[in-house]
Structure 1
Amino acid sequence: MSDIFSRIDHSRTADEVVGQIEALILEGVLRPGDRLPGERDLARQFEVSRPILRDALKALEMRGLLTTRHGGGTHVADVIGQVFSKPVMELISTHRKAAADYLEYRREIEGVAAEYAARRATPDDLALLDRIMARMEEAHGSGDFQHEADIDVEFHNAVGECAHNIILLHTLRSCYRLLSDGVFQNRLLVFTLPGAREDLLAQHRAIHAAVKAGDPAAARKAAMDHITYVERAMAQAERSGDWQRVSRLRLKQRAGEQETARRRGQNETGAATRESGKTTP
């Protein structure tokens, strides 16, 4: 991890270290699972003594913001995962209306995020978005659906970061967590539709271009149009999948009927032959 921590300018107390790490977590600079530098390096960046640093890290761990792994260092705790409790996540995964409501909510909130991103993205934000977009283009060329879907989520996360609104950022991250945790098992169905991967890539390009151009209205429209497309494509993919399931069952049933008829015909022929043998003088 590069030097993202600043020296403490005032009394160099544990509270000031705590406040700086809290702000980095809240602003989304430090993400769940990120590992903090070692104690010596971290104390050097803050320019505080190691006892002060230990007190700060202990306070953050007691508040559930950091976690220490034996032999594995200090990491940012999984604070985002706690937005949706496990029972709620299980309910969402088993009710179709929840999936529809999820996309409806995402359409509105991502429209706002893209609009804010177009207004507020810094040159560094845009550089990060450029890199993610380039990786998405590369993944698209590879034909790896799972990798493409993972970068899709990363792209939307980055747009949320560009919006520079703390509440929006963490709300979006909690939404995307449902995807990364596999709550919506059918999310890859869209990628199987003819032409869908090309359409999705074009939509991400449109969002990216509008944010880079600083066009809030276009960015909002592009983001909302994207989710509307996903809604329709998901419905189509599910219908197509259901049609395929029914067609497969029909084929299996017809094949079974034909096999039964064939065997019945063989049995009748055999019986007739045996009967004919009995009556032959």
Structure 2
Amino acid sequence: MFRKIDKTSTFNDVLTQIIEKIQNGELKPGDALPAERILAEEFGISRPALREVLKALSLLGITVSVHGGANYIAADLRNCLTEPLSILFQMYNSKIQDALQLRGALESKAAFLAAQNCTPLDAAELHLIIAKLDSTQDEKIRGDLDRDLHLKIAQISANPLILSVLNASSQLTENMITGIRSYFMQKNSTAPEIDSQHARLVHAITEKDSSLAEKVMNEHMHTIERLLGEISIDELINSDTLNDNTPATNSDPV
């Protein structure tokens, strides 16, 4: 399956070949890689060197390892940037607002492009999500639907880079404060504002009004930043949304 590589650039050569196999369809998400012995022989490298490469690929989210040593192509390659982005976040001692600002920039562009690319089927799916949001009081379900809505808009944008980075930045936010979407989507004083923005956003996208879609998404993301800034750490702890693994200095709203 693979050709021998230049041992002076082992990682890059292995990565390049795996990406080529994914691009041409020889390797698909969820497919198992050949056994380590076979891989090492095909690449012409030692098994210890191969293991180091596989560890790096796993860190990037391109492959996953399971008990027993088997290695697979990740089932969802959209998540491959989550871990590297998380490392950068920690390296710069960033705050949750930094992640939200990154998301805001990506979400706005995604909405702009989605309005240009929205098909009748896309429009029907967006309206269905809005209808489900309107029909349920369950904050967990509403949080999941909120995620579905933003993901669908990113998918409609038809830009795989925006989708991947947006997915990673969104996951980063939720890893820091688990359940934050559900918290915001509670049917309390903030929910009507968010629901209204969602409805206006979907209307702009389905009417193919790119400028309005971008404007409403900007407004929506600014609202999320504002609401987060109004929430105290005590409230997050009491609502069981704070992730115990997240340092308070990184999640403290300012």
Q: How would you bin the TM-score normalised by the shorter chain?
A: 0.5 to 0.7
Is 1:19 the counterpart of 2:19? The answer is no
Alignment partners' CA distance in 1, 2:233 and 2:83: 30
1:114 aligns with 2:108: no
1:148 maps onto 2:145 in alignment: no
Deviations 1:208-255 (A, max 9, x none): 00000100000000101001011111111228849x9xxxxxxxxxxx
Would the alpha carbon gap of residues 59 and 137 (structure 1) be closer, same or farther in structure 2, given more than 3 Å must change?
same
Mapping 1:171-182, distance limit 5 Å: 171-179=165-173, 182=175
- Residue 183 (structure 1) aligned with residue 176 (structure 2): yes
SS of corresponding position for 1:85:
helix
Quick check: 1:60–1:66 contact (8 Å CA) kept in 2? Answer: no
The 2-side partners of 1:114 and 1:60 are apart by 41
CA–CA distance in 2 between the matches of 1:86 and 1:151?
26
Shift of 1:153: 1.0
From 191, 197, 205, the equivalent of 1:197 is 191
CA drift of 1:82 comes to 3.4
> How many angstroms apart in 2 are the aligned matches of 1:19 and 1:241?
50
Q: Structure 2 matches for 1:98-113, cutoff 5 A?
A: 98-113=95-110
Q: Is 1:114–1:216's contact at 8 Å kept on the other side of the alignment?
A: yes
Aligned to 2:81: 83
Task: State the TM-score, normalized to the length of structure 2.
Answer: 0.60
TM-score relative to the length of structure 1: 0.55
> What CA distance in whole angstroms lies between the structure 1 residues aligned with 2:149 and 2:34?
30
- Cα distance change on mapping 1:126 and 1:237 into 2, 3 Å: same
Deviations 1:107-163 (A, max 9, x none): 211111000000111222222222222222223xx2x22221111111000000111
Aligned to 1:43: none
CA–CA distance in structure 2, aligned partners of residues 133 and 159 of structure 1:
13
Kept in 1, the 8 Å contact 2:111–2:153? The answer is: yes
Counterpart residue number, 1:5: none
Amino acid at match of 1:111: S
**2 CA distance for matches of 1:158 and 1:226?**
16
Looking at structure 1, the residues matched to 87 and 179 of structure 2 have their Cα atoms a distance apart, in angstroms, of 15
Moved more, 122-131 or 152-161: 122-131
Measured in 2, the distance between the counterparts of 1:232 and 1:199 equals 12
Q: Secondary structure at the match of 1:128?
A: helix
Secondary structure in 1 matching 2:125: helix
Greater RCO structure (CA 8 Å; 6+ sep): 2
State the match for 1:130 in structure 2.
127
Q: Is the 8 A contact 2:81 2:168 kept in 1?
A: yes
User: Which of the numbers 156, 159, 162 marks the counterpart of 1:165?
Assistant: 159
Which whole-Å deviations, capped at 9, do the CAs of 1:67-126 have from their partners, x for residues lacking one?
Answer: 7999xxx9852434331328936965xx6x420111111221111100000011122222
Q: CA RMSD in A?
A: 3.9
- Contiguous gaps of at least 5 residues in structure 2: 1-19, 40-53, 239-254
Give the length in aligned residue pairs: 189
The 1:227/1:60 distance shift into structure 2, 3 A limit, reads farther
Question: Which one of the candidate residues 215, 228, 236 is aligned to 2:230?
Answer: 236
The separation in 1 between residues aligned to 2:205 and 2:135, in whole angstroms, is 21
- Give the residue type in structure 1 aligned to 2:196: A
The AA in structure 2 aligned to 1:173 is N
In percent, how many aligned pairs have the same letter? 19
Which moved further from structure 2: 202-211 or 99-108? 99-108
